Structure formats: C-alpha cells, structure tokens
Amino acid sequence: MVDRVVPDVIVSRLPVYLRALQFMQMQAVTTTSSQDLGSKVNISAAQIRKDLSQFGEFGKQGTGYNVEALIAHLEKILQVEKVWDVAVIGMGDMGHALTRYGGFLNRGFRITDCFDNDPAKIGSQAGQYIIKDVADIGKGDCLRGKMVMLCVPAAAAQKIANKLVECGVKAILNYAPVHLSVPADVRVQYIDPVIGLQRMAYYLHEKNE
C-alpha cells in the first residue's frame, strides 16, 4: 500500500459501509461478504472490495469479512475510534434537536458546546448544556474541538463561518441553506432537506395528489 491519496468518492462511501456494519452487529451478525454488504447499501460487491482494498486487506477468501474487525478498521480509517468534540451554533429548533439526539456518541462524536446570539437564550439551560454567547467564540477555550454543526439562519451563516475559520475550525456541518465559502483546508458538508426533496421531485411523474 503506497501512500497514494484516496479519492473523495471512496472516502464518502466508507461511513455508509460502517453504518451498515454496525447495524449488522446490533443484530448479532458476525460475518459478512462484499456481496451481502453490497446488497444492504445498494452498491456493487466489486465496488466495495475495490474501496476497501485502498486501505488494506481485511477479508478472507471463501469466508468474507468479520463484522467486528471490519468495523474496527473502518473506524480507524475514518478516525472515529476516538470521540470528537463538536459545537452547535444556533440553538433554535434544529440546534435543540441535535443536542437531544443520542446517536452521536457511539459513532465518534459528542456535543460539547452550544452557542446562540439571542440574549434571551444566552446563559439558559438546554438539557445538559448552558448556551453560550456566540460573540465569545475565540475568547479563551470557549470553543473546544475543530468541528461545528451550524444551525443559524442562512443570512448569518457565512459571517459565522468566517469567524469559525479564524478560530481554527476545520469541519462545518452546515444546516443553513446557503453555500459557504471557506479555505481549501476547511471541509463543509451540507444538510438541506429541500435539496433532497428537489432531487427526488425531478423523477416524479403525474400530478401531486
């Protein structure tokens, strides 16, 4: 295995494999194959084998893959065997839903800090968190970690993103429905349900109801 750079498209599939494997593990499945895993994520078996071969040889001929071992490998590759600190910015409906969500910890993340700019919210309790002032980001060790989930209105998102970049944030999960301009060393992933709906609407036939 040379130290060649792994294509983005492959990296982006790994979390999908990992999620499916963890689902199998929950059901006490101990072994799988590229065929089996592929059928569960709608990806060809050859594709899965090629993808995994970028990182090593994790399977055994005739048998397939040990679920637990492959999970461990993928977690290592994705760097989610540790737990990353993530901040939530914008404690409206979405921010609150995220802080109440229990699905982060066993997949490599935990929310450590929450921010807002609404004086009525700053200082108040949200579950186990005390909402901090977004203006304090950058002051002291207010913002732990390098990852942020951004849940502010679209109009405020770019401005805050700029500030986050200044403060060393390297990964932004952006819920605001706008594109963010950031330096090349900062990653952004977008979550916009409307984009998802529109991608599907293209394929709908006939009338609405």
CA of residue 130 relative to chain centroid, distance: 23
Distance CA 21, CA 113 (A): 30
Q: Per 3-state DSSP, what percentage of the chain is helix, strand, and coil (rounded to 5)?
A: 40, 20, 40
Centroid of chain to Cα 68: 21
When CB distances are held under 5 to 8 angstroms depending on the partner's kind, the choice from DNA, ligand NAD, a second copy, none that residue 49 binds is DNA
- Output 89 or 148, the one with its CB closest to ligand NAD: 89
| Three-class secondary structure of residue 173 per DSSP | strand
What are the backbone dihedrals phi and psi of residue 174, each rounded to the nearest 5 degrees, phi first?
-100, 115
Q: CB under 5 to 8 A by kind: which of DNA, ligand NAD, a second copy, none does 202 bind?
A: a second copy
Q: Least distance in Å: CB of 96 to ligand NAD?
A: 7
Residues 96-135, one symbol each (x = binds ligand NAD by CB under 6 A, - = not), give -xx--x-x-----------xxxx--x------------x-
Question: How distant, in Å, are the alpha carbons of 49, 75, 137, 160 from that of 43?
Answer: 11, 20, 42, 37
**22 to 41: interface string for DNA, x by CB under 7 A:** -----------xxxx-----
**46 binding ligand NAD? (CB under 6 A):** no
| Tokens 């404690």 -> residue | 91
Burial class (CB in 10 A: 0-12, 13-18, 19+), 67: buried
Work out how close the CB of 161 gets to a second copy at its nearest, in angstroms, rounded to a whole number: 13
**Which of the listed partners (DNA, a second copy, ligand NAD, none) does 156 bind, with a CB threshold of 5 to 8 Å by partner kind?**
ligand NAD
**Beta carbon nearer to a second copy, 57 or 185:** 185
Please state whether beta strands 171-174 and 187-190 pair in parallel, antiparallel, or not at all (unpaired).
parallel
Binding interface with ligand NAD (CB under 6 A): 89-95, 97-98, 101, 103, 115-118, 121, 134, 151-154, 156, 160, 175-177, 193
Binding interface with DNA (CB under 7 A): 7-10, 33-36, 43-47, 49-50, 52-53, 57-65
